[in-house]
Structure 1
């Protein structure tokens, strides 16, 4: 079993770590406060319907229950793994914020209509806390946030069975949102390079908090 090589006591003793942790938590709280209005704006404006040969061939089925079982089990595994590893957790928090920032940019620049045959993917937690709209949000499309979140956790956890399990979960959720016709194929594919970009940028931001002598395994 992988164990953290840098404890919370050691990390918290460093002002660089404390500053970056407080900063990213503040940014995440600010983002959470702004997202409901942003998603309401995204839902209200007209967008473009894209051709998608894969979705045209793939029959739509409601797979909401297995999709959210995979999502929340994956998130739970990632959180349990990262909490005892403060440096990995710090980088993941920065990457998560950057990922949402990138997603807000792509959603703003690329207004889309939902794919043909869409079946609503209902997430009670997200709808309650982040979506301020009377109807379900269906236009938060490019890129797939569910796929990106699980891929981010796959990158963030240490090598081993947890990373393998999260990689399988990422692939599975990418397939399930397509079966649901909740995303275009392009949304799922674009999640990969944009998540890699967010994770790399987060590494640059958090690097001063990770002295070479204390790199985690």
Structure 2
């Protein structure tokens, strides 16, 4: 039970104290965060291996008709803006963080499997997406073969699914569409990479909520 502040909402300290006092929430918070840390630390090794192999170039009708432009700044302004939003929301509602982290684990595992099994060379006309923050997880190496399915699109969809406020959802949906279009404009992904991502992430999200009973956490939050 949250102890609410004078404004009718729990403070950040109160929200997280209550979450850590709940065994179910505490276990998911700690275990989920630990597993994500392990996965993120292993990504540079995985991507380094993927980048060295040869794949196939897909005949993409959409990319063939879309001139390539560098829109890196716009893409990362949107992505990091939404990342900041969900971070703020999760500060006051740890269940959002739990939903995000637990689902992120399975999304990363799914991407590693599909990227490993489906060897693709980058699209023709690809313009490298330069972002000093995410490059940390790529081992500070240019990675262009992490294609199916799109990690940037997956991130935006996961944020959208974890957000709860109506206006946040609307903003999140607009940002998903914008990032999907911009990734194609920059020829970073094939069309199938960005189209498949929302479907796969949504299915993973539903599966994780059912398996880990995350709906129960939300319903029992108060």
TM normalised by structure 1 equals 0.91
Question: 1:42 aligned to 41, 50, 53, which one?
Answer: 50
**Aligned partners of 2:25 and 2:217 also within 8 Å:** no
Local SS of the residue matching 1:210:
helix
Deviations 1:77-113 (A, max 9, x none): 1211122111222111101111111111110010100
| Distance (Å, rounded) in 2 between the aligned partners of 1:172 and 1:66 | 9
| Structure 1 residue matching 2:144: 3-state secondary structure | coil
Q: Distance in 2 between matches of 1:177 and 1:121?
A: 9
2:164 aligns with one of 158, 172, 181: 158
2:147 to 114, 121, 141: 141
Query: Whole-Å Cα distance in 2 between the matches of residues 166 and 207 of structure 1?
Result: 24
Structure 2 CA distance for partners of 1:90 and 1:117, relative to 1, 3 Å:
same
Structure 2 Cα separation of the partners of residues 102 and 46 of structure 1? 21
1:110–1:142 contact (8 Å) kept in structure 2: yes
Aligned position for 2:4: none
Aligned residue for 1:130?
A: 137
Q: Which runs of 5+ in 1 are unaligned?
A: none
| Higher relative contact order (CA closer than 8 Å, sequence separation 6+) | 1
Q: Do 1:87 and 1:210's aligned partners in 2 also have CA atoms closer than 8 Å?
A: no
Structure 2 unaligned segments of length 5 or more: list them: 1-7
- Tell me the alpha carbon deviations over residues 166-211 of structure 1, each in whole angstroms, 9 at most, x when there is no partner: 1111110000000000000000001011110221122124426835
Q: Distance in 2 between matches of 1:174 and 1:211?
A: 31
Identify if the C-alpha distance between structure 1 residues 124 and 169 changes in structure 2 by more than 3 Å, giving closer, same or farther: same
In structure 1, the residue matched to 2:31 is 23
2:203 paired residue number? 197
Alignment root-mean-square deviation, CA: 2.2
Q: Distance in 1 between matches of 2:219 and 2:193?
A: 39
Give the secondary structure class of the aligned counterpart of 1:49. Answer: coil
Change (3 A) 1:190 1:80: same
Matched-pair contact (CA < 8 Å) for 1:141–1:187:
yes
